[in-house]
Amino acid sequence: MLYAILAYHDEDVVVSWAADQDTSVMTGLHEIHEKLTADGQMGPAARLGGTKGAFTLRGPGAGVVIDGPFAETKEQLLGFYVIDCATRDDAIAISRDLRRVNPSAVYEIRPIQLFLPGAPKEATHALSDHVRGGS
């Protein structure tokens, strides 16, 4: 099963880190990334740019572009991982590993299903299985 692990954090705290603190956190995360890659579980991952550069398209018709942070929250989505795990418990264990090296982060875990526009749900599940190397 593919899972998205969404990494939330107080952005003001992260940008206030000294270079050595940021490097320490990223080094710890990289060690986990290397293990997941070696185990064949690591998919795409990204550290997102600051919310001040974010914008949202919403509304009817062509929509309206809204600049800047789009939600008033204590924590912001600052990164994500896509991982392949056999079970929900495996995804939780990986999230705990990430939190061990970045203890002030919050990790939201969501199952992922690939989406094929116009295809029946069964075809989408079959493609998800194929991408994961299943039958």
What stretches of 18-75 show up as alpha helix (H) in DSSP?
Answer: 19-38
**DSSP summary character for residue 69:** -
Question: How many C-beta atoms lie closer than 10 Å to residue 101's C-beta?
Answer: 16
**Range among 21-25, 58-62, 116-120 rated most confident:** 21-25
Question: In the predicted model, is pLDDT for residue 30 greater than 90?
Answer: yes
Convert the pLDDT of each residue in 35-63 to its tens digit.
999 999 999 999 988 888 888 777 888 88
Q: Which domains does the chain show, CATH number per domain? A: 2-57+65-131 (3.30.70.1060)
Beta bridge partners of 111: 3
The position carrying tokens 């954090």 is 9
Question: In the predicted model, is pLDDT for residue 134 greater than 60?
Answer: no
Convert the pLDDT of each residue in 80-114 to its tens digit.
999 999 999 999 999 999 999 999 899 999 988 77
